[in-house]
Structure 1
Amino acid sequence: MGEVVNLRQARKQKARIEKERLAGENRALHGRSRAERQRDRLSADKAEKFVADHRREKLGDKDER
């Protein structure tokens, strides 16, 4: 015969395991050091400046025609 299982405890254990799995994924996605965040921020700023500098019309030029 099979083992007797308390369904309430099994459901809670399953929820705990799922919560821990989700926390692990979040740590992998968002757990970055300050230097990594700063490097990514500087890279994004540099790319934005590059695009802005190469626009044909500057943001304020539309009214000056």
Structure 2
Amino acid sequence: MAEILNLRQARKARARAEHSAKGDANRVAFGRTKLEKLATEKAKNQTKTRLDGHFLTKATDHESD
């Protein structure tokens, strides 16, 4: 005898699996961990600080102070 199958539950299970597969693909394509995001932000801030420290101001800027 064949196994009784609830079609509504099977349809929902298939939809969940497809949704999960799409989410996995998006995580691979777009996802970065919080640690990676923080590391990138920290490196960006360090670079900006280093460049700002080497900025030469014009003589006219000091005269107006």
**Normalised by the size of structure 1, how large is the TM-score?**
0.50
- Structure with the bigger RCO (C-alpha within 8 Å, sep 6+) is 1
TM-score (norm 2): 0.50
